[in-house]
Amino acid sequence: MVAQVQTSPGPFRRAFARIGRIMTASMEADARLKLVHRLQDKSNAELAAMGLKREDIVRYAFRDVM
């Protein structure tokens, strides 16, 4: 008797993996947008103390993907 070995993930496993990736991306985007809003609420002096200018907020929040 020979055991059957499946080398590629099945359709359900692939579907759930894709759903997981989508959910992760959504949560990361939500966290980035919350950071943008928190930074936008700061004064220019507070941003300057962080080494940021108002026009740099989005670039800062998405710095690892831009």
C-alpha triplet 45, 49, 51: angle, nearest 5°: 110
Instruction: Give the model's pLDDT for residue 6.
Output: 62
How do residues 9-62 score in pLDDT, each as one tens digit? 788 899 999 999 999 999 988 999 999 999 999 999 999 999 999 999 999 999
Q: How many CB atoms lie within 10 A of CB 36?
A: 15
The SS3 assignment for 39 reads helix
Q: State the amino acid at position 24 in one-letter form.
A: T
DSSP assignment, residue 64?
T
C-alpha–C-alpha distance, residues 1 and 24, integer Å: 42
Band of pLDDT at residue 5, cut at 50, 70 and 90: low
Instruction: Give the model's pLDDT for residue 3.
Output: 63
